[in-house]
Structure 1
Amino acid sequence: MTIGVYAAPDLARPTVAEVFVHAAARIHRAAAEIWPGDPVFLDQHVPSVTGYVHRVRVADRTLYAKTSFLGISLVSLLRGTRGSWAVVRQAQQDYEQRPDGLLAREAAQLRALAGLGGPQVCSVVGMRSGVIFTEAVPGPTLTELLLDRPGQTGELLERPLLELQPLHRPGAARRLEPAGVMEERSIAGTFLRKFDGAASAQYVEQLGVERVERLTREQVVELVRVSVRRLHGLRMTLPSVPGTTLAYGDLKPEHVVFPEGPDGRPVLLDPGLLQASPMIDVAKLLSRTVLFLVAHRPDPVTVRQILDGLAVLAVARAGHLSAKERRAWVRHLLTLWLMDTLNITTTYLSAPAGLPLPTLGQALVERADRVCCLVDVVSADLHNPGARGLGDRTLDRIAEVAA
């Protein structure tokens, strides 16, 4: 395997076992410090490529505990981008004390959102030594409801976006301290971190090295390489970031829970508030819903109903615009969608073989060639400034991939 900025030599990397054992011990120790005398039981690890997450029982309460290593993804950490395990552990001691650490900002965001009256978010019940504890939220997720009630897709997708209206209003950015935003969750910002600079070519070249067979991997690498080049050009056409609105930043269907059932208000998990256009939230919701379809591969009727609901959502969001403005809006939305799709798909592909992936991630690795082909074809359409009917063609292509 080629060695470079993207991947450190195997002997210099932290191992999954080292990272997981350390994180589990931190969680147990933090819980014991916050709730002394209460029994603490680490129930079940929750696979993630970003941070280490564990379901925890403290006395008679079920909580979720999350840790972050140096504010970077587990994939990057395990690839050796921050050095050996000894170096990481030393740096982590300092990082856990920083007031601007990733999870310290997440806790601050959850507490700030709880005081707004909307959106409803999970409750922070403790924070200690870089470990955040949140209440478990029972109920079906948006992904489960979409499969169960595909004919109500438009209505179901509107629910979390309606919850975000207080953030999407002009002036909302004043509710959050500038130091509290999570630019790490920006779609375009993440795309540039991954695919700009000297390390980008090496990163793309090594995609899937530990998870995908050779011929498929070569196809995926070429598709990503071409798509990245197109999306760099399309990024220049995106509107500048507005100064006064907030985006939730990490709006994913699996993180939208309906504790009172499909007719009740949803509760949102894992915020990543940033100063950005509301389109960011629409694009992330669109991207992750499409990936969930590709991963789950429901029957064709269900796929078409969900895609029709996505189209209704997009039309409703752009209904007040002129025909020319609507075409530009759709192009911007699809550009962000493709960027986010490449961002998360390549993260799963670059994960070391020993890192457990969530069900969605494993399914996307297995169908990476189809996902990357979809990104390639739609980005080629977007690269043609005279292309018409982009939305309809895109929906048809998603339906083919999800079949």
Structure 2
Amino acid sequence: MSTAAVSTSPGPVPDASEVFTFARDEIRSAAAELWPGANVEMSAHIPSVTGYVHRIRVGGRELYAKYSFLGMSLVSILRGVAGDWAEVQRAQAGYVQRPDALLVREAAQLRLLADLGRPRVCEAAGLARGVLFTVPVPGPTLAALLLRDPAGTAGLFESVFADLHRLHRSRTVQRLAPAGAISERSVAATFQRKFNGISGQTYLSRLGAERCAEADRAEVTALLRAVVARLHRMRPTALAPGQAVLTYGDLKPEHLVFPDGPGGRPALIDPGLLTARSSVDAAKLISRTVLLLASARPGAAAAEEIVQGLGAFAEQRMRPMAPKAARSWLRELLIVWLMDTVNILTTFLSAPAVLSLPPRGRPLVERAVAVCTMADRISTPLGGGLDVHRMWDTALAQATAVAG
């Protein structure tokens, strides 16, 4: 494994220990400000490539504390995209005061969703000094339930989307002002930002320098260049005008919790509400579920059952649609699925070695060639204009293969 630094900044990059110490200090100060006199105990750091997240106990109450640097990913901050540590601190002092700071919008979205009543979300406990505190939701996650009971996949997905029905209704979109959206979590916009022009090609060429063996890097880069080029040509389809709805925006199997067990309503954390096509929420959850399978490798039989469940779920979604609308929805789903897979895999690959990846991150990096091969084999016919239902069958077969 190479230890060569990969920086997008000509100057020194922020030191991870300084960045994390600063975030912990801000969390302590924010807790003291919100709950004066309460005993504050820092528990465990939760590895993340986006924001800094820490479990904390305040006056005996368990909470999650989240801190965002400039609304950017930790990968970008530690790569020096926002400058050296002094520059980041200066910019951060102003950023946390802004009414449109990322976690200010996330707190507002949690309040909006609590007011709507569906979907059920975690409770926002407080916001101060740029730190958002939320209340943990007990119970098994969707990820745990899928791996425990693969045959229940379609039913679990349906229960999630039944709870999202109110959010997805056309009139609900009016409840969120444009300034309140978290467009940073748009799959298509993130893809365009990452892979735009010369900077995107440079980004691709530097992937995996601190994470992959050299031989794997070469193969991953070649596959990703081909996949990204195809997706760029298809991207207008994902962004084409059409009826937009309010989407949750950040559905992940690890962030969907079933407090009352698999038969109850799910509770969601980390909203990223934005206006988008109705296919986006399904595409992101399918993408992250397939990546879960690629990292967990539950065995051929379980993988096949879970992927069959994904297929049954998609068929159920398309059943009330006219044939042309169903084909359009399915094509959008495939494009956004691939974009999201490329987005998250490249984020893990570009993360500096000092940044701990989430539990599923390291296995994905180790299987980057297999994941990129899957994306290549799905995107090739997708870019060729073949029948979309045949392409969907190909995608499901590739998802099963990557989990094996």
TM-score (norm 1): 0.97
Q: CA deviation at 1:237?
A: 2.5
The answer as to whether partners of 2:248 and 2:274 remain within 8 angstroms in 1 is yes
Q: 2:26 aligned with 1:26, yes or no? A: yes
5+ residue gaps, structure 2, are none
Q: Which residue of 1 aligns with 2:9?
A: 8
Q: Which residue of 2 aligns with 1:186?
A: 186
1:59-138 alignment runs, 5 A limit: 59-138=59-138
The SS at the match of 2:298 is coil
Q: Which residue of 2 aligns with 1:394?
A: 395
2:300 and 2:324 mapped to 1: Cα distance? 32
Q: After superposition, what is the alpha-carbon deviation per residue over 1:269-317, rounded to whole angstroms, capped at 9, x for unaligned? A: 0000001122110000100000000000001111011001100111111
2:255 and 2:345 mapped to 1: Cα distance? 18
1:67 and 1:303 mapped to 2: Cα distance? 35
1:215 and 1:3 mapped to 2: Cα distance? 18
Q: After superposition, what is the alpha-carbon deviation per residue over 1:178-237, rounded to whole angstroms, capped at 9, x for unaligned? A: 210011111111100001122111100000011101010011011111110000111122
The answer as to whether partners of 2:106 and 2:270 remain within 8 angstroms in 1 is yes
2:239 and 2:378 mapped to 1: Cα distance? 20
1:178 and 1:135 mapped to 2: Cα distance? 27
Q: Which residue of 2 aligns with 1:237?
A: 237
Amino acid at match of 2:384: N
Q: Which residue of 1 aligns with 2:317?
A: 317
1:258 and 1:79 mapped to 2: Cα distance? 36
2:102 and 2:9 mapped to 1: Cα distance? 24
Q: Which residue of 2 aligns with 1:350?
A: 350
Q: Which residue of 2 aligns with 1:143?
A: 143
Q: Which residue of 2 aligns with 1:335?
A: 335
Q: CA deviation at 1:2?
A: 9.3
The answer as to whether partners of 1:65 and 1:132 remain within 8 angstroms in 2 is yes
1:326 and 1:48 mapped to 2: Cα distance? 36
Q: CA deviation at 1:239?
A: 5.2
The answer as to whether partners of 1:234 and 1:383 remain within 8 angstroms in 2 is yes
My pick for the range that moved more, 168-177 or 22-31, is: 168-177
Identity %: 50
Q: Which residue of 1 aligns with 2:218?
A: 218
Amino acid at match of 1:20: F
Q: 2:379 aligned with 1:370, yes or no? A: no
1:342 and 1:36 mapped to 2: Cα distance? 44
The answer as to whether partners of 2:5 and 2:210 remain within 8 angstroms in 1 is no
Amino acid at match of 1:396: A
Q: After superposition, what is the alpha-carbon deviation per residue over 1:330-352, rounded to whole angstroms, capped at 9, x for unaligned? A: 22211110000000000000000
The answer as to whether partners of 2:245 and 2:277 remain within 8 angstroms in 1 is yes
Amino acid at match of 1:173: V
Amino acid at match of 2:83: G
The answer as to whether partners of 1:242 and 1:276 remain within 8 angstroms in 2 is no
CA change 1:107–1:207 in 2 (3 A) is: same
The answer as to whether partners of 2:258 and 2:265 remain within 8 angstroms in 1 is yes
The answer as to whether partners of 1:243 and 1:275 remain within 8 angstroms in 2 is no
The answer as to whether partners of 1:71 and 1:102 remain within 8 angstroms in 2 is yes
Q: Which residue of 2 aligns with 1:269?
A: 269
2:287 and 2:339 mapped to 1: Cα distance? 9
Q: CA deviation at 1:101?
A: 0.1
Q: CA deviation at 1:8?
A: 2.2
RMSD: 1.5
Number of equivalent positions: 401
Amino acid at match of 2:201: A
The SS at the match of 2:44 is strand
Amino acid at match of 2:392: G
Amino acid at match of 1:147: L
Q: 2:229 aligned with 1:251, yes or no? A: no
The answer as to whether partners of 1:170 and 1:244 remain within 8 angstroms in 2 is yes
Amino acid at match of 1:8: S
The SS at the match of 2:21 is helix
Q: CA deviation at 1:328?
A: 3.1
Q: CA deviation at 1:390?
A: 1.2
Q: Which residue of 2 aligns with 1:301?
A: 301
My pick for the range that moved more, 102-111 or 328-337, is: 328-337
Q: CA deviation at 1:161?
A: 1.2
1:346 and 1:12 mapped to 2: Cα distance? 23
5+ residue gaps, structure 1, are none
2:341 and 2:64 mapped to 1: Cα distance? 27
Q: Which residue of 1 aligns with 2:45?
A: 45
2:99 and 2:197 mapped to 1: Cα distance? 30
CA change 1:241–1:62 in 2 (3 A) is: farther
The answer as to whether partners of 1:168 and 1:277 remain within 8 angstroms in 2 is no
Q: CA deviation at 1:243?
A: 5.7
TM-score (norm 2): 0.96
CA change 1:357–1:259 in 2 (3 A) is: same
The SS at the match of 1:359 is coil
Q: CA deviation at 1:172?
A: 1.3
